[in-house]
Amino acid sequence: MQPMTDSFFPPDPVEDGPNAASHDATSPSFAGTSPEGEQTHSGFVAIVGKPNVGKSTLLNSFLNTKVAPTSPRPQTTRRGVRGIFTTDTQQIVFVDTPGLHKAKDALGKYMNHEVHSALSDVDAILWVVDLRHPPGDEDRLVARQIRDLPKPLFMVGNKLDVSKYPDEAMKLYRALLEGRTAQTGEIALSAQNQPEAVAILREQILEVLPENPFFYPRGAASDQTREMWASEIIREEAMKKLRDELPYAVATRVNRWTEREDGLQRIEGEIIVEKNAHKGMVIGAGGKQLREIGQAARKQLEIFLNRKVFLGLEVIVINGWREDPEALRELGYE
């Protein structure tokens, strides 16, 4: 994967301007032609599926950089992160969605709501399934949501590299779409290990884009601010290292980002826990665990920013934040 270019992060959104990037055909957006005068095609494509099937890995692979956090733990994705792929005349705005699941708290409800709102407002859908296993209840839940939507749908059988019976699994997933009449395609691949197959799928998606002006400037790869992006990298590392319920009980936030003259990026972030008792568990004996989370996150930030990074991390408590609408809003889950 490649480091980001300077234009990776979008400029500050301009109300009603091109960077407002609302999915509204009447928004001014960008001229509907390329610099050579050719008609442009662009559209929003939702990546949906149950937790942990590889949606964010697929998004990062489409863009060949790191837009969204990934981890072996289910429910790593919490927001509908957008990742943008642009050619001379085409633009795909991928919307990575949280894994659809049975919500247990206000955060879970917010995550499922992100999936539903993404589905209502896109031009095509990628349904990612895990070919290592036959469909389960959560896959059936997703299939019911998408089967009758009159938009092009691609079923993506993922983790082909580690699947024993991919053809049989594909058949079982296909059966969940029985009765569907709108355009449907399918592909089996490994989002993690087969960039060529991912590029083929991307080509197929480009072919179904409607005529539209671009929604984002050329060169932008994500709709996130750099602070949001960095806080997701920190959360990814926290989720990988923490145990039991704790990965789901943390949120992260970046409060300050300054650049020194020599190029060093000074980033100050917080790991938020929901009880006092969790604070020590995140910090670990002698601060060891927090140090490890910080080191792993800093390494990733340095790779993708291609710059030296100083990362300062603090652990703070916001009591019961997962059930508190105001705290959820404050943490960007709204």
Ligand X SMILES: Nc1nc2c(ncn2[C@@H]2O[C@H](COP(=O)(O)OP(=O)(O)OP(=O)(O)O)[C@@H](O)[C@H]2O)c(=O)[nH]1
* Site for ligand X, rule CB under 6 A: 49, 51-57, 70-72, 74-77, 98-99, 158-159, 161-162, 190-193
Was 43 annotated as part of a binding site? no
Q: Are 44 and 209 in contact (CB under 8 A)?
A: no
Q: Are 128 and 55 in contact (CB under 8 A)?
A: yes
Was 158 annotated as part of a binding site? yes
Which CB sits closer to ligand X, 54 or 80?
54
DSSP for 127-155 reads: EEEETTS---HHHHHHHHHHTT-SS-EEE
Was 5 annotated as part of a binding site? no
Give least dist CB 264 to ligand X, A: 30
Burial class (CB in 10 A: 0-12, 13-18, 19+), 15: exposed
Was 219 annotated as part of a binding site? no
Adjacent-strand bridge partners of 5: none
Which CB sits closer to ligand X, 185 or 195?
195
Which CB sits closer to ligand X, 90 or 192?
192
Q: Are strands 90-96 and 82-86 parallel, antiparallel or unpaired?
A: antiparallel
Was 159 annotated as part of a binding site? yes
Q: Are 301 and 230 in contact (CB under 8 A)?
A: yes
Give least dist CB 122 to ligand X, A: 17
Give least dist CB 128 to ligand X, A: 6
Give least dist CB 236 to ligand X, A: 9
Which CB sits closer to ligand X, 242 or 283?
242
Was 42 annotated as part of a binding site? no
Was 98 annotated as part of a binding site? yes
Based on its alpha-carbon atoms, the radius of gyration of the chain, rounded to whole angstroms, reads: 20
Give least dist CB 156 to ligand X, A: 10
Which CB sits closer to ligand X, 53 or 283?
53
Using alpha carbons, select from 70, 200, 54, 193 the residue that is nearest to residue 129.
Answer: 54
Burial class (CB in 10 A: 0-12, 13-18, 19+), 259: exposed
Give least dist CB 72 to ligand X, A: 4
Which CB sits closer to ligand X, 76 or 265?
76
Structure tokens given for 211: 């005529």
Q: Which residues contact 328 (CB under 8 A, 6 or more apart)?
A: 106, 107, 110, 321, 322, 334
Structure tokens given for 25: 């055909």
Structure tokens given for 246: 């704790």
Which amino acid belongs to residue 256? R
Was 51 annotated as part of a binding site? yes
Annotated binding site for GTP: 49-56, 96-100, 158-161
Annotated binding site: 49-56, 96-100, 158-161
